[in-house]
Structure formats: C-alpha cells, structure tokens
Amino acid sequence: MPIKLACQAFKVSEACYRYVSKRKPEDEEIANWLLRLTDNHRNWGFGLCFLYLLNVCGFGWNQKRVYRIYRELELNLRIKPRKRLIREVPHPLAVPGGSNQTRSMDFIHNQLADGRSIRVFNVIDDFNREALGIEVDLSLPSKRVIRSLKRIIEWRGKPRAIRCDNGPEYLSGAMTHWAQQTGIELQYIQPGQPQQNAYVERFNRTVRYEWLPQYQWDDLEHVQQFATNWMWTYNHECNDPAKPAHFMRLMQMPQPGSSYSVPGGAAGCYKSQSSHQ
C-alpha cells in the first residue's frame, strides 16, 4: 500500500509521518560531558552529574534535556533491591556536638597489580565527616596506627574520644597505653555491631565505590598519592550533600531573620539555578 493511502486511512499527515527530529549540536557536547563524568565517578547518578555541570562548569542546559540524553546513553545506576532482615534494635549512634570531639578509625583492604594485599587506614571526624587521614601500606601494626594518629593530632589537635572496632591493632597494649597517656578515650563497639561505627563505615563505602577497587595500582606510592589527592577533593567537594564541605556550609547558614553574607568559596560552588537561566 502506498504511504499516501496509508496515511489517509489512519488519518495521519504525510508531513508528520516523514518528520525526522533534528538534534542540536549541543546534544553531542552534553553526551561527551556525561560520559566523561560517569567514567571518572562510577557511583555518580544523574543528580550529581547535573549539579556538576550546572554549579561547577556553569552550563545552563535544561534539566529535562540533559536527563533525556542521560537515559539514551543508558547511564542509569543499577538499584539493588533491599533485603528485609529481622534485626534487633541497635544501640543508638552517639552524635557529637561539635568538631574535633569524636573521631572514628577503621581498616579496609585491597590488592596491588602484582597480587600483594594492602591495608588502608582511615580516620574521620564524626561531626562533619571530614577525612583526616588515609594511610596505605602492606602492614599497619599498632605502632603505625599510633604514628598516624599523632600526626593528625599535631595538625588538628587532640579529640576527647576515638571510636573503633575490636581489631588487634586497637586492643594492643601499645595502643591502650598511648591512649591513657594522651587522655583519649577508646570507644570500642560491640562485636558484630558495625552500625555502631557507622560514620567511618559510610566513609569506607565511599572509598570503595569511588576509587580504591576501580583502578589497577602499581605500587604503594601510587595508591598513597592518589588517596591524598582524593581526600582533599572529598573534603572540599560542594556538590554531594554527604560530603564535609556541604555539611560545614549548612552549619554556617544563618538562622531565620538574621543577616548573613555567603563566603566566596561557597558561593562559587553553590550558584543558584536561576543565574543560569
């Protein structure tokens, strides 16, 4: 059947049938930016990608347009179904009243390209989730842990308490003796209750999802240099609400009815959407 008769039968104009959408040249630029962001940040969804393009890069692209291209590229993150487990009511997680009061520390593991196992020692501030130190080595006994904590104390001062699990490095005589000498309380969580150390566990998840198992590491120096650079980016990133920079900015926001001037750094990262329209 000719196309003309088919269009008349279904009451569709030939112009509508033969219409071919014309893509704007900017669509290819948006696609390149989305592919680049999702390749460098594997756990970034559409929200973080769009905030980066809007607030950091300064592009004024429409959100629906960017999302349409994001869907066409099939960049959506897989949502894992949650398993409903019957659990006992955990002990409430202690929330510090200010920074530099309580810190958390924990270990995570990975491998080098030659198969050797490495340990990563993380220390964060529980109040604003700021990363204070990332130490990488093949072995990190209690003496290395104490040395790392001393270096952080010289930089940021002494906390009142440090939360940790029941690992041998934290239960050793050297560690407990050092804590008593410095007047720092070691708050051990209950065995089998990692949620009581949820702040650093959440930080460990970010490390795993953003960079640690994503690359092939040649040596320890390679991992340590990347960890140091990433820690600075993590502490000063303004897009993710879970990052310390966003939290500290919220703590500086004025109460209703008070006058307040936004610092230049925060204003640079948090441009309003109306300024790009």
Mind listing the pLDDT tens digit for each residue in 228-249? 999 999 988 755 555 565 555 5
pLDDT, average across residues 37-59: 90
Please give the Cα distance from 219 to 110 (Å, whole number). Answer: 12
Give pLDDT, residue 247. 54
Does the pLDDT value for residue 209 go beyond 70? yes
Please give the Cα distance from 159 to 90 (Å, whole number). Answer: 25
Give pLDDT, residue 52. 92
Does the pLDDT value for residue 4 go beyond 90? no
Give pLDDT, residue 151. 95
CB of 162 closer than 8 Å to CB of 102: yes
Instruction: Pick the more confident residue, 2 or 90.
Output: 2
Tell me the residue type at 259: S
Please give the Cα distance from 19 to 32 (Å, whole number). Answer: 27
Check residue 1 and report its DSSP letter: -
* Main-chain dihedrals φ then ψ at residue 69, nearest 5 degrees: -70, -35
Beta strands in the chain (DSSP E): 102-111, 117-125, 131-137, 161-164, 185-188
Put the strands of the sheet holding 117-125 in their side by side order: 131-137, 117-125, 102-111, 161-164, 185-188
Instruction: Pick the more confident residue, 96 or 65.
Output: 65
Please give the Cα distance from 105 to 207 (Å, whole number). Answer: 14
Number of C-beta neighbours around residue 246 at 10 A: 18
CA distances from 197 to 1, 52, 131 (A): 71, 30, 15
Please give the Cα distance from 138 to 97 (Å, whole number). Answer: 36
pLDDT, average across residues 246-257: 49
Please give the Cα distance from 274 to 277 (Å, whole number). Answer: 5
Please give the Cα distance from 191 to 186 (Å, whole number). Answer: 15
Portion of the chain with pLDDT greater than 70, in percent = 82
pLDDT, average across residues 154-160: 92
Portion of the chain with pLDDT greater than 90, in percent = 53
What is the residue-averaged pLDDT of the chain? Answer: 83
Contacts of 187 (CB under 8 A, 6+ apart): 94, 102, 161, 162, 163, 164
Q: Residue 251: which pLDDT band, with cuts at 50, 70 and 90?
A: low
Give pLDDT, residue 7. 87
Give pLDDT, residue 41. 86
CA distances from 181 to 151, 175, 217, 263 (A): 16, 10, 38, 40
Please give the Cα distance from 112 to 119 (Å, whole number). Answer: 11
Give pLDDT, residue 32. 92
Does the pLDDT value for residue 154 go beyond 90? yes
